[in-house]
Structure 1
Amino acid sequence: MASTSAAVSHVGKVRSKNDDSGYAGHHLFVVADGMGGHAGGDVASAIATTRIAEIDEQYASAADAEFALQSALIAANSLLAETVFEHPELTGMGTTVSGLVRVGDQVAIAHIGDSRVYLLRDGELSQITADHTFVQRLVDSGRITPEEAAVHPRRSVLMRVLGDVDAAPEIDTSILDTRAGDRWLLCSDGLSSYVSEDKILNVMTNCPDADEAARQLVKESLDAGAPDNVTVILLDIDESRDTPDTAVGLVGSAAAPLSFEPEPARRAVRLPTLLLHPLKTTVEDSHFEPESDEYLQELIAEDRRRARRRRITWLTVIVLAALAVIAIVVLAYQWTQSLYYVGADGGQVAIFQGVQQGIGPIPLSSVYERTDIRLDDLPTFTRESVEATISADDLEEARSIVERLGATAND
């Protein structure tokens, strides 16, 4: 089966440099997303991608390709450690890597970090790799939902990366079958964090051309605000040859000369971006934390404390809101009881305290004082006015109205 591929990388709308790197070759396809302040992110992804690209060759079996790809990631990890030794200012830099090698009707995959590999087959999009992040651990353990993970304050914490942070990183590898019509997607989290899987599926399904689809996916990220770098590599499987029709080569920071200069200031976020994407205009730098039980338990305990504080905060807000409503109701009722009106009660004129309206079946007035004036003794117009009620500003005015009504009745 033959294949066609495409690779696109964009710096995004906020970053001043591209920490992503990508490679689309004859047999090998790689996405790397660098992390680390200063010049570290772009250097890490470029070094790792360039080193891994050296194994782009035909393999006798998928098992051989899997071993070669895993070995290349380990070699890249060592190379990053050596680079940090020679350039101490890069201490702490690292990179995620998702790589795929095509061997006939199989693919070998190696993965570390939170870049992703997806497979589109028969109209269904499947995430092949699992993120090595703290929030993914929480999702896997059922402590939070995927929706909560998307806004979790620890979502930028990576538990596994290549770099000087771990001399022996654990790398996920697998071998999967592939067939004609499959479309493989490798991407950095600049796509997966800001574009929904439904939109990714829609683009990959409706754009048959690999290059057009890759560019459209990047555009979707840009339309969503694109605060992070975004890199997309697509591989289409078709026909009956083992090599792709074209080899794109390196993209992103790996395609530029390696530089150890400090990172320039970030771009200012434009006003339209702030207005259109207020929740996605900033992005936290990813950082690595060791995948140790002690650290995980510490983070989980902190997450529980955060959840408890959130519940207490919401409970406090609800209680205060309820108290405020009760206070308003009490004050409003007290105000109604400062008012009076004259009306009819059992065929006689009476002074009522409160207002004529009620709240549903609950009246907001009561008889304050009954008089000896009979409604039948009043002229028709006056009687109708009393039955419709006559408002008074206070008790004194209400009694004055009653006196006038009495005089009318006597007449």
Structure 2
Amino acid sequence: MGASDAGLLTIGAFARASRLSPKALRLYDELGLLTPVRVDPVTGYRFYAVGQLERARLVAWLRRLGMPLARIREVCARDPAGAADEVRAYWAEVEADTAQRRDLAALLVGELSGGGGAVTAPLELRYAALSDAGRVRESNQDTAYAGARLLAVADGFGAAGAPAGAAAVAALRRLEADARATDALPARAHGGTAGGVAAGGVLNALEDAVEEARRAVRSAGGPPGEGAGTTLTAMLWTGSRLALVHIGDSRAYLLRGGGLFQITTDHTVVHALVAEGRLTPEEAASHPQRALLARALTTDESSPDAAAEVRLQDALPGDRYLLCSDGLSAVVPTGEIREVLARAGEPDEAVRELVDRANALGGPDNVSSVVADVRRSGEDTTPAGEAA
């Protein structure tokens, strides 16, 4: 330590005094949240002033609250009164989010512990799908499909985006056709199976179909390295459950008990930054790279295979599901989406209004919407119609 560093704390001493790790301090320096007083030009060693301890301890406390780093930066930039208001507002958001998740947990607990067995009557889907080019794009690279067994949305990108999305959905439609021909995907009761097909078999079949979709997308063409491909969000109906497959930033939502729940995770670079605490959700919504995908089905055979999420989703009578491209979810506020889904009587009415709302807000992207209602058989036997 040179004479110019007298009175300064090394990163190790500062870490011990502030109860922050040296790794965290290096990250906060990179983010401009807690910048050292001096960095040795030769060794790169960081030195901190004793006066920085108060801010460092505040950062540590806020991290213990779970506050994202970008939000912490806003708190630290304010005077004490403004900082207190920011913390108060953040905690109100946490409590609201916790309340929503508590309601969902209560629904799940009731379903798992209070249902007791198979439903009293077979369940079926009533469905509708609609896709539109929007008000800005010259062509539509989305594919939307709804049938008695399969719901799917694919959002293509790049020169070969449209055929890539269509190929991915077509691969899953072949699985639906096989199920119809062989009755390979019967209804599944709680605690057992009907017809001898277990949940694992459904998921295995869906994973195989995803790999077929991946091969189909890579056969869709496009110049090497051009960066074409598609997202894929789909649900395969088994009779009492929906098998979900998801990759990319198209979304699936569940309307249940008056609450709207996003049941997929956006596979985007910005979402990963939010999860790491580097961005707030508000910053993510307006980030210039918010549409940059971290996972997708691509036409590039040299790129590594990105994993798709595959899981089972229990269905209850009265559930309403929405699958959509980001031309809807990134344009229409979530509250408006919930309001339309809760009010619209039939799926075809819901998909039309959702697409209309996206276009009324400028229609900056292709927009696709698939809505499906879970009903007991015989409630209404007239399907809303398949759409692609």
TM-score band, normalised by the shorter chain?
0.5 to 0.7
Cα distance change, pair 116–27 in 1 and its aligned pair in 2 (3 A): same
Count of equivalent residues = 247
TM-score, length of structure 2 as denominator length: 0.60
2:139 to 17, 32, 42: 17
Q: Could you give the per-residue CA deviations for residues 44-96 of structure 1, whole angstroms, max 9, x where no partner exists?
A: 11111112211112413443332222221211111222333xx5378421000
Task: After superposition, give the CA deviation of every residue in 1:123-181 in whole Å (9 maximum; x if it has no partner).
Answer: 00000000000110011112211111011121121010002233422011111211100
CA contact (8 A) 2:164 2:216 kept: no
Which residues of structure 2 form unaligned runs of 5+? 1-122, 186-196
Q: For the residues of structure 2 that align with 1:196 and 1:68, how far apart are their CA atoms?
A: 35
- From 177, 191, 208, the counterpart of 2:314: 177
Larger radius of gyration: 1
What's the counterpart of residue 220 of structure 1?
A: 357
Question: CA 1:81/1:207 → structure 2, altered by over 3 Å: closer, same or farther?
Answer: same
In 1: Cα distance, 2:350 partner to 2:220 partner: 36
The alpha-carbon deviation at position 32 of structure 1 amounts to 0.2
After TM superposition, the score normalised by the length of structure 1 is: 0.57
Contact 1:20 1:230 (C-alpha < 8 Å) held by counterparts: yes
1:100 aligns with 2:235: yes
Partner of 1:45: 165
The equivalences for 1:246-285 within 5 A come to 246=383, 248-251=385-388
Alignment partner of 1:135 is 2:135? no
Match of 1:195 in 2: 332
Task: Report the secondary structure of 1:6's partner residue.
Answer: strand
In the alignment, is the contact (CA less than 8 A) between 1:103 and 1:242 conserved in 2? no
After superposition, give the CA deviation of every residue in 1:364-409 in whole Å (9 maximum; x if it has no partner). xxxxxxxxxxxxxxxxxxxxxxxxxxxxxxxxxxxxxxxxxxxxxx
Q: Structure 2: how far apart are the matches of 1:67 and 1:167?
A: 21
Equivalent residue, structure 2, for 1:382:
none
Corresponding residue for residue 345 of structure 2: 208
> Which consecutive unaligned segments of at least 5 residues does structure 1 have?
252-411
Change in Cα spacing, 1:21 to 1:90, as seen in structure 2 (3 Å) is farther
Residues 186, 62 of structure 1: CA spacing in aligned structure 2 closer, same or farther, 3 A cutoff? farther
Moved more, 69-78 or 226-235: 69-78
159-168 or 176-185: which moved more? 159-168
Task: State the AA in 1 paired with 2:233.
Answer: S
Matches within 5 A, 1:4-403: 4-36=126-158, 38=159, 40-56=160-176, 57=179, 58=183, 59=185, 60-84=197-221, 88=223, 91-165=226-300, 166-240=303-377, 245-246=382-383, 248-251=385-388
Going from structure 1 to structure 2, the CA distance change for 1:145 and 1:104 (only over 3 Å counts) comes to same
CA distance in 2: counterparts of 1:159 and 1:146, whole angstroms: 17
Q: Is the 8 A contact 1:26 1:243 kept in 2?
A: no
Per the alignment, residue 393 of structure 1 pairs with none
Q: Which residue number corresponds to residue 397 of structure 1?
A: none
- Equivalent residue of 1:152, what SS? coil
AA in 2 matched with 1:224: L
Distance 1:90 1:29 in 2: 30
Q: Distance in 1 between matches of 2:338 and 2:320?
A: 11
CA 242–212 in structure 1, closer or farther in 2 if over 3 Å, else same: closer
- Which has the larger share of strand? 1
Distance 1:29 1:227 in 2: 24
Q: Distance in 2 between matches of 1:96 and 1:72?
A: 15
Distance 1:248 1:93 in 2: 31
Q: AA paired with 1:30?
A: A
SS in 2 for 1:179: coil
Identity value in percent: 39
**Secondary structure of 2:220 counterpart:** helix
Residues 162-171 or 146-155, more deviating: 162-171
Taking structure 1 as reference, are residues 233 and 129 closer, same or farther at Cα in structure 2, changes over 3 Å only?
same
